[in-house]
Amino acid sequence: MMRAGVRRPVSFLAGPLSGLLSSVALAAALAAPAGAGTFAEPLPVEPLGTIETLPARYPSSWMLLHDLHFPSILDGRGVIVDLTAETRNFKGMFRVAQFGSLLQASTRPEIYVAETMFSRLTTGERTDVVTIYDSATLQPTGEIVLPGGKRGQVVTQKNTLQFTDNERLGLLFNFTPAASVRVLDLINRTVVEEIETPGCSLVYPTGARGFSMLCANGTLTTFRLDAAGKLAGQSVSKPFHDIDNNAMFLMPATAGGVAHFATFPGKVQPIDFRADTPKVLPGWSLVTPEEAKAGWRPSGWQVTTGDDTGRLYVLMQSNGREGSHKEGGTEVWVFDAAKKTRVQRITLTNPGLSIEATRGPAPLLAVSSLAGTLDVYGADGKLVRSLAGRLADSPMVLHAAR
């Protein structure tokens, strides 16, 4: 009981918090070293404002993850990771806003990001721009403003933004839904030309200075540019692509210098884009008749990749069906692209959505998994490590470091 005239001090630490602090104090007292007044040396003050830089040319074990960031698509990003590091795999991050596209140069230390912003976040004046980032500092060093609000905003595809002419020119896909391609001078940072491309989509660099596009009638239209980046001529192939019965995934993998497009039912359509006029090569099957009956077919988002040894990797699912081409796969099948033969089957620890092989003579395979991890596999097909910790929210497309 309280005696009359005596007031108990008011404490904001009364109640459960008081008990918690008492427990913490008791634990600290029990853990303290013997001898009164003995304390550990204080940690040194960590300096603020320290900024590290990356190498201007990234090691072959590094990879750029294009994080579409589905929870807030306005705020996509590129994430740089080292697939071989035991710790500190995360190397840096830069912005890729609003259904953007990213492209890393190999001839100079720059990363190009095509993106869209609005003056009031989601409304107001629209600005389309190609932002140029320094590869070492990840700081923007310039931009190319794109007039007209025409940049194609789609779930990220590698072939919305590409190089040609030894990376001097950039090619950017527009869609309003009228289709066109903007030619950009990346050295002088200007818009050179806009070429109308009705009925055709995406850009595939062709020859020394040009590009091709896949068209709705099953043909391939090729555009040739002059030294200034202006349209110098165009040609149309014969129909080769049965869109209704053998639809293609639109991100090809390059193996042996040839682009390989996987198709929904499990075939491959190779196209050689190295000459000024592309050459459509004979297609071949990824699956045997027995495997086709079991429903083996490609599935995912970035379902193919190639390495510098000429091998082609394809993300595969079993029990596939019409409409299951985006569900992801449980195995990666590896082919000798020149011989058109399978040389390896990799069973994935976690079902995958996108795959990419690193460059160099000893490639690693990165798999963006449906479990939210980035899984890394060695040449023997064994899981080397699984990078978790939310490196990226929605790494839809993977880019091997150049």
Rounded Cα–Cα distance for residues 375 and 387 (Å)? 6
The two counts, helices (H) then strands (E), for the chain are 2, 29
Lowest pLDDT segment from 10-14, 222-226, 371-375: 10-14
- The pLDDT tens digits for 30-88 are 444 555 557 888 888 888 888 889 999 999 999 999 999 888 888 899 999 999 998 88
Q: According to the model, what pLDDT value does residue 375 have?
A: 96
Nearest CA to 153 out of 116, 111, 199, 103 is that of 116
Rounded Cα–Cα distance for residues 287 and 317 (Å)? 11
Rounded Cα–Cα distance for residues 229 and 148 (Å)? 20
- Give the bridge partners for 369, in sequence order: 352
- Give residue 220's pLDDT band: very low, low, confident or very high (50, 70, 90): very high
Asked whether residue 206 carries a pLDDT value surpassing 60, the answer given is yes
Q: According to the model, what pLDDT value does residue 389 have?
A: 65
- The pLDDT tens digits for 232-260 are 999 999 999 999 999 999 999 999 899 99
Q: According to the model, what pLDDT value does residue 16 have?
A: 40
Domain boundaries, the chain: 62-400
- Is the torsion defined by CA of 318, 324, 328, 332 positive or negative? positive
Q: According to the model, what pLDDT value does residue 201 have?
A: 96
Q: According to the model, what pLDDT value does residue 33 have?
A: 52
Whether cis (ω within 30° of 0) applies to the bond prior to 177 is yes
Q: What single DSSP character describes residue 5?
A: T
Q: What is the mean pLDDT of residues 106-135?
A: 96
The answer to whether 234 touches 286, Cβ cutoff 8 Å, is no
What predicted TM-score, i.e. pTM, was given to this entire model? 0.87
Radius of gyration of the chain measured on its C-alpha atoms:
27
Q: According to the model, what pLDDT value does residue 73 have?
A: 86
Q: What is the mean pLDDT of residues 212-233?
A: 97
**CATH superfamily for domain 62-400:** YVTN repeat-like/Quinoprotein amine dehydrogenase (2.130.10.10)
Query: How high does pLDDT run on average in the chain?
Result: 90
- The pLDDT tens digits for 363-375 are 999 999 998 899 9
Asked whether residue 196 carries a pLDDT value surpassing 70, the answer given is yes
Q: What is the mean pLDDT of residues 157-165?
A: 97
Instruction: Determine the distance from the C-alpha atom of residue 328 to the mean position of all C-alpha atoms in its chain, rounded to a whole number.
Output: 16
Q: What is the mean pLDDT of residues 319-336?
A: 96
Q: What is the mean pLDDT of residues 15-23?
A: 41
Q: According to the model, what pLDDT value does residue 37 have?
A: 59
